[in-house]
Structure 1
Amino acid sequence: MRLAFSAFRFQLALARRTPDLLHVLVTAPLFTVVFLAISEHAGRRDLAAYAVLAPCLMSLWAIALFIAGEVITQERHWGTLEALVATPARFSTLVTARITAVTLFGSLSFGEAWLVAAAGFGIVLPIEHPVLFLTCLLASALAMAGTASTLAAVFVVAPSARIVQNTLSYPFYLLAGVLVPVHLLPEWVQPLSKVIFLSWSSDLLRDTLSPAPVAAPAARLAVICLLGLAGHAAGALLMRRFLRRVREQGTLSQV
């Protein structure tokens, strides 16, 4: 636990000095303006929840993917990756804690999107179920960190995996129904959405903005957590195997 907390604090301190990590806080308001402008022009104010929540979820996933690759790439560049791997501490725990720190930091994008909607379009979205909303947002951020750790493991053996990193954003948003409801997708695609935690997160977050009672909140939160834990477990397993492989081949520091 102390290792995870120390890595968490280190990454937060590092994030303040890394402009690339702050780009999410710049793009989220811009996406909000675009999405709200489209829904308002179409006279569909009922879609405001989609337009406000989508930039937040997109920002969280984008920043999780970015830091998943940068954690390994930066340590390689600094020449400290070998030292970290050689310590008795579990390397996968350190990586996941650092991804979690930045992902939680990215949650501020929801506040930006909410303010843009209120100040720019006169749309004030009430959070009808605030406790459930915050719980779901936290669970989603942790699930993102756990899932993104699998990509960090890939960077250990394949520094060129940035191509994969860049292609995991918009297809993920589409399958997860972040902006377009899943039931509007082709029928053969819809089952894939059920195994993506972000589809459960986006649906539950939108429901927390409605005054109607939320259906099965505990079960839906459990699914988000279970899918996030599955991603974390897969990341830890891949990290162990890939570290063993690069140790045997002596290629850990290769760029």
Structure 2
Amino acid sequence: MSRDRRCDDDFHRAAEPGGGLPARHGGPKYEGRSVRAFGSCVGFQLRLAWKAPDTIQICATAPLLAVLFLAICDRAGRSDISGYAVVAPTLMSLWLLSLYTAGELISEERALGTLEALVAAPARLGVVVMGRLCAVAAVGPVAFGESWLTAGIVFGRWLPLPHPAMAIACVAVTGLATAGTASILSSLFVLMPSARIVQNTLSYPFYLLGGVLVPLSVFPFWLRPVSRGIFLSWSADLLRDCLGAAPITHALPRLAMIAVLGTGGFGCGLFLLKRVVDRVRRLGTLTRA
């Protein structure tokens, strides 16, 4: 009887204005659903991405950025750093598309009036967000291939790839790390009515601090520790070394560092998203965020 009374009390509290819904507690029955939901979200985002204007725009601008950076190298007479001009558009495309996806998937669901149903679904919102963001990693090889072909076709610089296995691993791990870092912002997008301001604000600062175009050795000493905390700096250095003929030093530890920073991003993103979703469910402010 007391258990039924508690359930009735929860129901009536949820029905009150601004009362929201009680936070859902996980359990073993959600584990299988989470795995299936994650895979479904990855497949859904892959099918959606290649038709989305944001993806088309980023894939179209990657070669243009490569032309710009290669022209700068050519003007300076530094054809030896052409690899920098190929790596930069790849990382910029990954980060920008992750920002767009993290913001738009929340904004679009809210605009369509389906965000409440998504939060109330058996699969956790964090699983849905992670699955759709991980699909963004597929744009990494595309952007890298476009930049590499641009260097060869437009400037006649067919850059060798003496370390193909490490280059593939670096692009793949970087894509996942990008998704993990972008997931931290998803909780902020749940609270904000529009994600465009945050998306536009966090693009170029990450490019600069991550050293996607220039090595960290040219940065001021006081700024280097900050840049080393951004996974893009490790990815840029390792991917540039993959285009060089010299043996790569400490390749696996550097790759592991990218994975560690990305895993930390995933953990922070899941934690913050759960806290934010539980809060808006209790307060009933999801649609008024």
Pick from 242, 259, 273 the counterpart of residue 239 of structure 1: 273
Q: TM-score when scaled to structure 2?
A: 0.85
Aligned to 1:19: 53
CA apart distance, 1:254: 2.8
Partner residue in 1 for 2:106: 72
Deviates more, 1:155-164 or 1:121-130: 155-164
1:170-185 matches, within 5 Å, as 170-185=204-219
Would you say the 8 A contact 2:38–2:131 is kept in 1?
A: yes
In structure 2, the partner of 1:116 is 150
Distance 1:161 1:20 in 2: 14
Preserved contact between residue 24 and residue 106 of structure 1 (Cα < 8 Å): no
The answer (yes or no) to whether the contact 1:63–1:106 under 8 Å persists in 2 is: no
CA shift at 1:88, angstroms?
2.0
> CA-atom RMSD, angstroms?
1.2
Deviations 1:218-240 (A, max 9, x none): 11111100100000111001100
Q: Structure 1: 5+ residue runs without aligned partners?
A: none
Distance between the aligned counterparts of 1:75 and 1:129, measured in 2? 42
1:59 matches 2:93: yes
**Corresponding letter in the other structure for 2:203:** S
> Quick check: 65-74 or 103-112, which moved more?
103-112
Give the superposition deviation at 1:245: 1.3
Aligned pair count reads 255
* More moved, 164-173 vs 67-76: 164-173
Q: Report the AA paired with residue 154 of structure 1.
A: L
TM-score normalised per structure 1:
0.97
Unpaired stretches in structure 2, ≥5 consecutive residues: 1-34
Q: Identical aligned pairs, as a percentage?
A: 53
Q: For the Cα contact (< 8 Å) 1:25–1:106, is it kept in 2? A: no
Question: Counterpart of 1:211?
Answer: 245
Distance in 2 of aligned mates of 1:65 and 1:103: 12
Q: Which of 161, 168, 179 lines up with 1:134 in the alignment?
A: 168
Q: Secondary structure at the match of 2:184?
A: helix
One of 39, 53, 64 as aligned partner of 2:73: 39
Q: Report deviation, 1:153.
A: 1.3
Q: Is the CA contact 2:107–2:194 (under 8 Å) kept in the aligned structure 1? A: no
The offset of 1:107, in angstroms, is: 3.2
